[in-house]
Amino acid sequence: MEWQDEAVILGVRRHGETSVIAEVMTRQHGRHMGLVRSGRSRAMQPVLQPGNAVDVVWRARLSEHLGEFRMEPTRLRAASLMETGLSIYGVQAAAALLRLLPERDPHPHLYEALGVVLDHLTEPAVAGELFVRFELAVLDDLGFGLDLTECAATGGRSDLVYVSPKSGRAVCREAGTPYAERLLALPSFLGDAERQVKTADTIALADAFRLTGFFLTRNVFEPRGVSASSVRDSFVQAVLKGLAAPQGQPQAQSAL
């Protein structure tokens, strides 16, 4: 069996003396694993870095086999992604999120979204907003999508400021204020069109990550008996720290 596809490197692990098993997110074949022979060679190591875009050819005798990858680089992002802690954590957090999906299950829109996230990891506000939307998209594909388009109580589509932790649906200010302590905040950049802002601020992003984190934990991590990846917390902190830094101040250097 054989197929060819576009892919982004998510990670690699050693296999034998010279080879690696690569994990990639492909456009049409989902998250996929494959053996890369001589993957530890001087020529292949720069290619097999998380965040890099490649063209892959996968071959195996049977579809259920691990198979082998042959790769050609198309966009080497990894060097620039290694420059700040924000981008390093972002790549790792995105990979951890995609590992929640079944292997080999196609999600072409998530492949596209991953590329957009990776291309904006140097800008804290933009990176944070894009990653929150990425988490919402993953929740939706896992069957736990949130309905943030209309109020669960009134059916209205304006002044949506809360989210019900029970239903995952938006709640307008009038209906939700008496129960505000029990509800999650819906940041303006995710709410109704009248309240949407062009760029999320620190408070809005903190609320947004709290919102997605709650539903990921309750609906995905806890039922599977696993904990959230610590790298997500590191990414969130890097985003909020980057927003809090005085304008013009350089961001923190690589965490490595």
Q: How many Å is the maximal CA-CA distance in the chain?
A: 64
pLDDT of residue 197: 53
* Residue range 212-253, pLDDT digits in tens: 999 999 999 999 999 888 999 999 999 999 998 765 454 444
Q: What pTM, to 2 d.p., does this model score?
A: 0.92
Tell me which residue has tokens 């939706």.
Answer: 140
User: Does residue 7 contact residue 56 with C-beta atoms inside 8 Å?
Assistant: yes
Q: List Cβ neighbours of 169 (8 Å cut-off, separation of 6 or more).
A: 146, 147, 148, 150, 151, 152, 163
On average, the pLDDT of the chain sits at 93
Percent of the chain with pLDDT over 90: 89
pLDDT of residue 32: 98
Distance CA 86, CA 91 (A): 9
Domains assigned to the chain: 2-76 (2.40.50.140), 86-244 (1.20.1440.120)
User: Does residue 113 contact residue 140 with C-beta atoms inside 8 Å?
Assistant: no
Rounded to an integer, the average pLDDT of 115-137 is 96
Write out the DSSP string of 9-67. EEEEEEETTTEEEEEEEESSS-EEEEEETTTTSTTTTTTSSTT-EEEEEEE-SSTTS--
* Residue range 190-217, pLDDT digits in tens: 975 555 555 689 999 999 999 999 999 9
